[in-house]
Amino acid sequence: MLHDFLHLKAPGHWINDPNGFIYYKGKYHLFYQHFPYLPRWGTMHWGHAVSDDLVHWEHRGIALYPSKAYDRNGVFSGTAVEVDGALRLYYTAVRYDEENPDNVHRALDNRFAASQALVISPDGETFDNLDAKRQVLPVMAGGAAGDPQNTRDPKVWRAADGSFRMVLGSTWKGIGQLLFYRSPDGLTWTAAGRFGDEALGTTLECPDLFCLEGRWVLLGSPMGITADGLAYPDQSTWMPVTFDETTCTLALEGRPTFVDWGLDLYAPQTTLDAEGRRVLIGWIRMPGPVTDAPDGRAPWRGMMSLPRLVCWRDGQLCFPVHPNVTACFTEPAQGLAPLADHRPVRLQGKLRDGQGWNIGGLRIRREGDRLLTDRSEVFGGLTGYRLTAEAPAGTAAACALDVFVEENLVEIFLDGGRAVVSLVVRGLGDTLAGDFDAVTTVRDN
Ligand code: FRU
C-alpha cells in the first residue's frame, strides 16, 4: 500500500482538484481528480486516500471511474456528504460530443456535455460504479438555465432544516455564475436561483460556500482572472457574502482575495475536521512530473497543499497551518544541514524590514509590510510561469514566518496565516541562510 506524509501526492501519473473531502466514520477521506495513465490531464477518475490525522495518508486506488454513457469521458470534481451513515459522492459527469481521434482522453475541439451525478457508498470503502451510480441533474438547457458544457463541480450540503442544497459553478454571457438547487432528500433537485458577477471570472469552478462563525464565505476558482500570458490564468479566491439558505439569495460583501498568494494552488475544498474546525486543502499545480520518486512510484505530477485551518481574524479570512502538521515537527535541526537530507523542514523566525532568507535558492525578503519571494534559481529554467510572488501590503506587519519546506514545495505562512504563499520549486539546493528562531524536522515516519 502506498503512503504519503504531510502532502498527498499523485500515486503516479496525474492528479488535480481535491474532491469529496470529508471526515467520515472517524477517518478523513480525500478523493481527487486523477488520470491514471500519464502525468498529464485526461479522462478523469476519482482517486481515493484516507487518513486518521490529515498528515499520514494511505492511498486506496480508484474510487470512481467512467461507467455510464453520461460519464463515459470523465468523472469531474464534486463533494461528499454523509447521509444516514452512507457516503454520497456528487460529481460532474462528462460526455464528449466527439472524442479526439488521436487521443480519446480529450474532446475534439474541447466540446462536451456536463450533467450532475451521484454514487452512494455504504461505507466509504466500496464504490459500486454500476448499480450505485445515478444522474441527478441532466445536461443544462442553455442560456440563463445553465450552460450545457460549463456547469460543474457540485458542492452539496445539508441546510439547517435538514434538506439539501447544491451550488454549481457555471458561465453565462462570458461571466461566472453560481447555480443553486434545492432538494428534500438529495436525490430529486429543483432550481433555486442564480447569481452572476465578474468577480466570478469567465467561468466559476469548484464553488465552496459555508458559514463560518455566523458569516458566509464564498470560496471559488474563477477562470481567467490573471490572464496576463503567464501560467496560471485561473486562481482561487474567497469573498465575504450574505446568503439566505431558504431562498438561496446571495450578495457579495467585498472584493475577492487570493486564497494563496503563490498562485500555484487551485481548486481548494474545505470540510470540518474531527474537532469541528473548518479545514482547507488545495491542489498544487506542478509544471512537470517528478521522475525519481524514492518509493518507486511512476512519474507523478500534482500534489495537495498542507491542510490549513480557515478562520476569521479582524474581518479577514486567515489560513493558519493545521495543528496536526506543526505537531509533527518535533526534532531540532539547527546546526545540521537540514536541507541536505530530504526530510521536510520547518523554519520559524521574524524578518525585519529589508531582511531576507535564502532557502536552498528560494529567496524571500521583507519590504515594509509586504513579503517578496523569488524562485528564479529553483524553477529549472522554465519560462511562462510566475517566478516572483508577493504577499500584499499589510500581511507582513509583524512578519512572523512559519515555513514548511519539502523537495517540491515551499509553503510560507505569514503572521499566523494572514497570508500564505505556496511555491512549487524544482532542484532546491542545500544552502540555508537566515536568522531563524527555530529549525525543526520530523521523526522518521
Ligand atoms: C478545476 C477543474 C474542474 C473540473 C476538473 C476537471 O481544476 O477544471 O472545474 O471539474 O478540474 O478535472
Domains of the chain: residue spans and CATH: 3-318 (2.115.10.20), 328-442 (2.60.120.560)
Contact 49, 74 (CB under 8 A): no
Distance 33 CA to ligand 1 centre (A): 8
Which ligand 1 atom is nearest residue 205's CA?
9
Q: Is the pLDDT at 80 greater than 90, yes or no?
A: yes
Q: Is the pLDDT at 445 greater than 80, yes or no?
A: no
Per-residue model confidence as pLDDT tens digits over 249-307: 999 999 999 999 999 999 999 999 999 999 999 999 999 999 999 999 999 999 999 99
34-47 residues labelled b (16+ CB within 10 A) or e (exposed): bbbeebebbbbbbb
Report CA-CA distances (Å) from 153 to 206, 208, 213, 309, 310: 5, 9, 25, 22, 21
The C-alpha angle with vertex 324 and arms to 218 and 414, in degrees rounded to 5, equals 60
Q: Is 418 in the pocket of ligand 1 (CB under 6 A)?
A: no
160-185 residues labelled b (16+ CB within 10 A) or e (exposed): eeeebbbbbbbbbeebbbbbbbbbee
Element containing residue 421 per DSSP (H, E): strand 419-424
Which ligand 1 atom is nearest residue 76's CA?
10
Distance 174 CA to ligand 1 centre (A): 18
Per-residue model confidence as pLDDT tens digits over 179-190: 999 999 999 999
Q: Is the pLDDT at 341 greater than 90, yes or no?
A: no
Catalytic position from the list 4, 17, 147, 197: 17
Q: Is 402 in the pocket of ligand 1 (CB under 6 A)?
A: no
Contact 411, 326 (CB under 8 A): no
Distance 169 CA to ligand 1 centre (A): 10
Per-residue model confidence as pLDDT tens digits over 200-245: 999 999 999 999 999 999 999 999 999 999 999 999 999 999 999 9
Is there a catalytic annotation at residue 185? no
Residue nearest to atom 6 of ligand 1 (CA): 76
